[in-house]
Amino acid sequence: MESNTATLGRRERILLAAVAALLALGLFLLRGGLSPAAPLDKLARQSLEPAVALSNGRPSVIEFYADWCEACQAMAPAMERVEGEHHGQLDVVLLNVDNPRWQPEVDRYDVNGIPQLEFFAADGTPVGRAIGARTQDELEALTTALISGSPLPAMAGVAETSVLKPAESTAMAGPRSHS
């Protein structure tokens, strides 16, 4: 009788292990399984540091985004395609506005809406900005212009960036000066 009880305990342990394995597999599959990361996450993880992108001789697009931003998520597959099609010709950099690490860049580029795209020529000079989601065709037109060194195409929400010329004199009147 003792061997029968030991066998029954062994069977219960095997059954329990099988049920646990099935539950773990079910949870794994519900959480996405082995599917690739979402395009937004993937792009953010593979992004260069902004300083590297702006100094390596390729035009760059810096996207300010947030994980919770539906427009950013909707635009991510198009950004991923642009990055894949122009890899080695163009740098795509994603900076999460909710990450305190990027606060200096958020301030520097006066981010006031997301997604916000900052466009830079191959020499790192800012050439334009776009606020709001862009379609695949719009992103393609913008990046093609960047790569070719052409002016950005005219479209709603896209503006060129002007570079201030240095003052001719170091003595400059301030905004409160009456001279």
CA distances in angstroms from 48 to 15, 24, 87, 119, 171, listed in the order given: 49, 36, 12, 15, 39
Nearest 10 degrees: Cα torsion 148, 54, 104, 141: 20
Write out the two tokens for 21. 């394995």
Strand partners, 117: 63, 130
Q: Name the active-site residue from 40, 54, 69, 106.
A: 69
69 is annotated as an active-site residue: yes
71 is annotated as an active-site residue: no
Spatial distance between the Cα atoms of 160 and 151, rounded to a whole number of angstroms: 8
Q: Name the active-site residue from 72, 97, 139, 158.
A: 72
* Active site members: 69, 72
